[in-house]
Structure formats: C-alpha cells, structure tokens
C-alpha cells in the first residue's frame, strides 16, 4: 500500500470502530486476531452453556480475551468495572489455567477510565497472571497495520482506486441513484452557495487524499449533469437526500484523527451510506454525486470568513 492508501485504510478502520457496538466490534477483533495469531480460537455462545466467559483464546499460550463494546462507554464506566470483575471470575472458574488476560474494549479512541485500569491491574496482581491489560481500538489498529495489504483490506473493506474512480459508468450511476432515492429524506432549508473549493476543503478538515478523490469526481460533473438534465426532479431529490445524510452525520461529529482530518470520517461514511453494496466500482458514481453537492454547499460547510 502507498502512504495515501494506508491513511485512507486507517480512516475506514476508524469508521468501523465507531459503528462497532456489541457483536460488530467482536467480529472486528476476531478477524484481526485470526490473521495475526494462527493459534487464536474464537469462542461463540453455544446453547445453554454460553461461551463460558471466554470470547477467544490462544490455548498454547493460555492467553484469554473478553470483549465489551457498549454503545457509549464514556457514560457507563461503573458497568465496565462490574463486568470486568464478574466476567473474569467466571472465566477463571471455567478456564483455571489463565496466564494472560486481556479485556478487549471499544473506547472509540477516547481512552480508558483510570478506575478500570486499577481494577484490571488488581486482577492481574491478585491472580498472579504473567500479563494483562486492555486492548483498545488503538491496539487493534496497530495489530491490523502490521498485517499484509490483502488482510488489511479484508478488515477495512475495499479502498477506492483513483483509476477506476476516474471512469463514470452510467449503468452503475443509475443503480447508485436508484439506491439513494430510496433513502429517507431529512428536510434541510438553505440556499445554494458556490464556495472557494480549496478553502472549503481546509475548513472542513478534509485530507489531501480525500481532496484528490473529490477533484476526480468534480471532473465528471459535466457527464453527471447531462445524465440528470432530462429529469427535472432528480437533481433536487438527490440534493435533499445527500444533504440529509450529511446533516445526520454532522450532528454527531467525530474527533480529529491523528492527522487532524475529522472531515474524512464524514466523507467516507457518506460514500458508505450511498453505496448499494460494499464494492469498489460503485464509488466513482457516489464520489461524483458528492462532489456535485459539495460544490454547491449542500454537503460540508462554507467557511463563513470567506466571501466569494
């Protein structure tokens, strides 16, 4: 992977983490561990016996994992401590030869509560474990990006190819538009404005690689406009749909990523929500449509300090 592709893959991984509550996050963890550690064995609940408080382990090393991924962990740390204590007690009862124990938690990159850290450190000390600790999304990200490129893509999903994005397939465009038109409308009132493109990129904290995809999409606006010109209602309907998706994502803004490009999360989540299937060839049409409404300020914000 190039540096640009890895940066995009990291953004897509973070999107999966932010959406990864419950079983979704456990599946992310399991997929990464299966690639990293050949001896890793996932444990799933089985009838009345459940999973015996074990979500996965490496038997040859007596390393055990439990996964916890509530919707919003920041408001629920007392429950984290309770679950940590009760689940480890249940694990030790069923699997007595624990040498290392890791509590796999989805903190959505916010960090772990210090009381939880103390509780886990006490468990390690009391039960004379060799090692133990939390595995957070940051830890899983580090594991993921030590894997091969094909394994990374298997976890994050397809990365857009700038070569394929540069071609606009009208059959695919028709399918994408049909899918978007089925999405619910969120009414948004506002006037159309045409901003300074580069200033808007900076103001919305979009990365250089996302800017590249938007600019490739913008190069095909002539073809898109011609495609929808014979259907007078279509441009307005697409505007309503795209603007509604954007406003929904804007209402729960992500924190800046390591490079400070928080707008990338919103952009790629829009691409995902507008895609009928998780397949790379849909992205050219979707990015072209987003570029159209980016240009007119229906999606993403105009810098209020810049007058055109």
| pLDDT per residue as tens digits for the range 143-153 | 999 999 999 99
Enumerate residues 6+ apart whose C-beta is below 8 A from 257: 10, 11, 14, 264, 265
| Integer CA distances (angstroms), 227 to 39, 162, 223, 279, 284, in order | 53, 22, 6, 22, 15
Same domain? For 17 and 109 the reply is yes
Which residue matches tokens 């595995």? 135
Per the domain annotation, does 143 fall within a domain? yes
**Token digits for 280?**
């790379």
The residue from 155, 188, 203 where one domain ends is 155
Same domain? For 9 and 151 the reply is yes
Enumerate residues 6+ apart whose C-beta is below 8 A from 227: 170, 173
Same domain? For 192 and 249 the reply is yes
At 64 the three-state DSSP class reads: strand
Task: List strands edge to edge, sheet with 63-68.
Answer: 40-42, 56-58, 63-68, 100-105, 131-135
Helix, strand and coil content of the chain, in percent to the nearest 5, comes to 55, 5, 35
56 backbone dihedrals φ, ψ, rounded to 5°: 170, 150
Residue 175's pLDDT is 76
Residue 52's pLDDT is 64
First to last CA, the chain: 39
Per the domain annotation, does 303 fall within a domain? no
pTM: 0.68
Query: Domain limits at 127?
Result: 3-155
Same domain? For 117 and 164 the reply is no
Per the domain annotation, does 148 fall within a domain? yes
**Token digits for 233?**
């209602």
The alpha carbon dihedral of 274, 279, 281, 283 has a sign of positive
Residue 307's pLDDT is 59
Q: Count structural domains, the chain.
A: 2
The residue from 115, 131, 155 where one domain ends is 155
Enumerate residues 6+ apart whose C-beta is below 8 A from 14: 109, 137, 141, 254, 257, 265
Same domain? For 136 and 22 the reply is yes
Closest CA to 57 of 41, 38, 76: 41
Looking up residue 12, the CATH number of its domain turns out to be 3.40.91
Same domain? For 177 and 124 the reply is no
Same domain? For 25 and 151 the reply is yes
Task: Please say if the pLDDT value at position 279 is more than 90.
Answer: no
**Token digits for 153?**
């893509």
Per the domain annotation, does 125 fall within a domain? yes
Same domain? For 9 and 132 the reply is yes
**pLDDT (average), residues 137-141:** 95
In this structure, of 180-184, 193-197, 274-278, the range with the lowest mean pLDDT score is 193-197
Model confidence at 117, pLDDT cuts 50, 70, 90, reads: very high
Same domain? For 134 and 30 the reply is yes
Per the domain annotation, does 300 fall within a domain? no
| Alpha-carbon span 48 to 160, nearest angstrom | 44
Per the domain annotation, does 301 fall within a domain? no
């Amino acid at each position: 992977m190039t540096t640009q592709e890895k940066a995009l893959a990291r953004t897509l991984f973070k999107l999966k983490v932010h959406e990864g509550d419950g079983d979704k996050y456990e599946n992310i963890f399991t997929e990464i561990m299966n690639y990293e550690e050949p001896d890793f064995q996932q444990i799933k609940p089985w009838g009345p016996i459940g999973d015996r408080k074990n979500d996965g382990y490496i038997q040859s090393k007596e390393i055990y994992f439990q996964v916890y991924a509530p919707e919003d962990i920041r408001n629920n740390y007392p429950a984290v401590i309770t679950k940590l204590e009760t689940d480890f007690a249940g694990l030790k009862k069923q699997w007595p030869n624990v040498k290392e124990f890791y509590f796999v938690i989805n903190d959505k990159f916010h960090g772990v509560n210090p009381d939880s850290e103390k509780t886990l450190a006490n468990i390690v000390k009391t039960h004379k474990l060799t090692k133990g600790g939390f595995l957070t999304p940051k830890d899983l990200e580090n594991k993921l990006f030590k894997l091969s490129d094909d394994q990374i893509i298997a976890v994050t999903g397809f990365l857009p190819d700038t070569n394929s994005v540069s071609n606009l397939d009208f059959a695919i465009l028709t399918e994408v538009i049909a899918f978007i038109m089925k999405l619910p409308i969120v009414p948004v009132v506002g006037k159309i404005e045409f901003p300074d493109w580069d200033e808007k990129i900076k103001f919305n904290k979009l990365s250089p690689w996302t800017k590249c995809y938007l600019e490739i999409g913008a190069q095909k606006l002539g073809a898109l406009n011609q495609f929808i010109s014979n259907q007078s209602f279509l441009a307005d309907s697409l505007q309503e749909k795209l603007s509604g998706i954007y406003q929904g994502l804007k209402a729960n803004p992500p924190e800046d990523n390591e490079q400070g490009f928080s707008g990338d999360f919103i952009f790629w989540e829009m691409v995902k929500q507008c895609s009928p299937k998780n397949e790379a060839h849909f992205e050219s049409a979707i990015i072209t449509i987003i570029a159209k409404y980016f240009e007119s300020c229906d999606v993403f914000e105009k810098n209020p300090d810049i007058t055109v």
